[in-house]
Structure 1
Amino acid sequence: MKILVTGTAGFIGFHLARKLLERGDEVIGIDNINDYYDVNLKYGRLKELGISKDEIKDNTKIVSKTYKKHSFYKIDLADKEAMEKLFEIEKFDAVCNLAAQAGVRYSLENPHAYIQSNIVGFLNILEGCRNTNIKNLAFASSSSVYGLNESQPFKTTDKTEHQVSLYAATKKSNEMMAHTYAHLYGIHVTGLRFFTVYGPWGRPDMAPMLFTDAILHDRAIKVFNNGKMSRDFTYIDDIVDGVIKVIDKPSQTNKQWNAKDPEISSSSAPYKIYNIGNNAPLPLMTFIETIENALGKKAEKNYMPMQDGDVVSTYADVSGLIEDFGYKPDTDLKDGIEQFVTWYKDFYK
Structure 2
Amino acid sequence: MKYLVTGVAGFIGARVAERLVAAGHQVVGIDNLNDYYDVSLKQARLDKLTDNDLFHFKSLDLADRDGMAQLFVDGQFNRVIHLGAQAGVRYSITNPFAYADSNLIGTLCVLEGCRQHKVEHLVYASSSSVYGLNRKMPFATSDSVDHPVSFYAATKKANEVMAHSYAHLYGLPTTGLRFFTVYGPWGRPDMAPMLFAKAISADEPIKVFNHGNMSRDFTYIDDIVEGILRCADHIPAPNSDWTVEAGTPATSIAPFRVYNIGNGSPVKLMDFIAELENALGKKAQKIMMEMQDGDVPATWADTEDLFKAVGYQPKVGIQQGVRAFAEWYKTYYGVTQ
Scaled by the length of structure 1, the TM-score of the pair is 0.95
Q: Secondary structure at 2:174's aligned position in 1? A: strand
d(CA) in 2 for partners of 1:259, 1:328: 29
d(CA) in 1 for partners of 2:204, 2:260: 35
**Which residue does 1:241 correspond to in 2?**
226
**Which residue does 2:77 correspond to in 1?**
92
**Which residue does 2:142 correspond to in 1?**
157
**Which residue does 2:33 correspond to in 1?**
33
* Aligned partner of 1:195 among 159, 165, 180: 180
d(CA) in 1 for partners of 2:237, 2:301: 22
**Residue 345 of structure 1: CA displacement?**
1.2
Alpha-carbon RMSD? 0.7
d(CA) in 2 for partners of 1:30, 1:333: 31
**Which residue does 1:214 correspond to in 2?**
199
d(CA) in 1 for partners of 2:301, 2:115: 31
**Which residue does 1:62 correspond to in 2?**
none
Q: 5 Å matches for 1:39-54?
A: 39-50=39-50
**Residue 44 of structure 1: CA displacement?**
0.6
**Which residue does 1:205 correspond to in 2?**
190
Superimposed CA distance per residue, residues 86-119 of structure 1 (whole angstroms, 9 cap, x where no aligned partner): 0000100000100000000000111100000000
d(CA) in 2 for partners of 1:110, 1:260: 37
Scaled by the length of structure 2, the TM-score of the pair is 0.98
**Which residue does 1:325 correspond to in 2?**
310
d(CA) in 2 for partners of 1:332, 1:263: 30
Superimposed CA distance per residue, residues 119-155 of structure 1 (whole angstroms, 9 cap, x where no aligned partner): 0000000000011111310000000000000010000
Q: 5 Å matches for 1:69-84?
A: 69-84=54-69
Paired residue total: 334
CA contact (8 A) 2:141 2:248 kept: no
CA contact (8 A) 1:135 1:186 kept: no
**Residue 258 of structure 1: CA displacement?**
2.0
The unaligned stretches of length 5 or more in structure 1 are 51-65
**Which residue does 1:7 correspond to in 2?**
7
- The reply to whether residue 174 of structure 1 matches residue 159 of structure 2 is yes
The unaligned stretches of length 5 or more in structure 2 are none
d(CA) in 2 for partners of 1:272, 1:247: 12
**Which residue does 1:269 correspond to in 2?**
254
Letter in 2 for 1:335: Q
Letter in 1 for 2:46: L
Superimposed CA distance per residue, residues 28-87 of structure 1 (whole angstroms, 9 cap, x where no aligned partner): 10000000001010011011112xxxxxxxxxxxxxxx2111101000000000000000
Q: Secondary structure at 2:259's aligned position in 1? A: strand
**Residue 339 of structure 1: CA displacement?**
1.0
d(CA) in 2 for partners of 1:26, 1:325: 23
- The percent of aligned pairs where both chains have the same amino acid is 56
Letter in 2 for 1:309: G
Q: Secondary structure at 2:138's aligned position in 1? A: coil
d(CA) in 1 for partners of 2:328, 2:238: 42
Q: Secondary structure at 1:170's aligned position in 2? A: helix
**Which residue does 2:18 correspond to in 1?**
18
- The reply to whether residue 292 of structure 1 matches residue 277 of structure 2 is yes
Q: Would the alpha carbon gap of residues 214 and 100 (structure 1) be closer, same or farther in structure 2, given more than 3 Å must change?
A: same
**Which residue does 2:213 correspond to in 1?**
228
Moved more, 336-345 or 287-296: 336-345
Q: Secondary structure at 1:27's aligned position in 2? A: strand
Q: 5 Å matches for 1:338-349?
A: 338-349=323-334
d(CA) in 2 for partners of 1:341, 1:263: 40
d(CA) in 2 for partners of 1:36, 1:109: 13
d(CA) in 2 for partners of 1:203, 1:234: 14
CA contact (8 A) 1:235 1:336 kept: yes
CA contact (8 A) 2:32 2:59 kept: yes
**Residue 255 of structure 1: CA displacement?**
2.8
